[in-house]
Copies of this chain bind each other. A is one copy, B any other.
Amino acid sequence: MTSTIRNKELLVRFIERVWNNEDLQAVDEYVAPLYTIHHDPGDPWDGQTLDTAGFKARLKRSRAPFPDQSFKIEYIIGEDDKLAAAWKWRGTHLGEIAGIPPSGRTITMSGLTVYYFERSRLCGHWQVADRLGVYRQLTGAG
């Protein structure tokens, strides 16, 4: 099995356990000791390098407004130590986000993320999500 295929399987499990289910043990298994958010407009940690505790704090805070959130991967393409995932996301707006109180509405979003690997662990990403779509659903503006 090539490392690209192994990394794809790892990424699918990472998304499911870490981002869809807030499984903190999976963070220890899949995430490198240092994880860099290379590019992620709107993410409060954009540009930062996080240790494992920092990654877990980001995970918890990111998921809090949408506790039932779920990423569905459309497809993954990969080369060496980078994989690009096209995804769609949905979540119920049950917590405050950017000053907007919980609405109970189902919010949808799409995005693309390039995940970076080192020694079969995730060590960073470069991501763009359709934030304007979310902004419009939350506020009716834009």
A residues touching B (Cβ–Cβ < 8 Å)? Answer: 4, 39, 41-42, 74-75, 77-80, 82-84, 86, 110-114, 126-133, 135, 141-142
Contacts and interface: CB of A to CB of B under 8 A. Distances in A.
A129 B127 CA distance: 10
B79 A77 contact: yes
A100 B67 CA distance: 37
Contacts of A128: 110-112, 128-130
A100 B93 CA distance: 31
B129 A131 contact: no
14 contacts: A41-B110, A74-B126, A77-B80, A77-B84, A86-B114, A86-B126, A110-B128, A111-B128, A112-B112, A112-B127, A128-B130, A129-B130, A131-B132, A135-B135
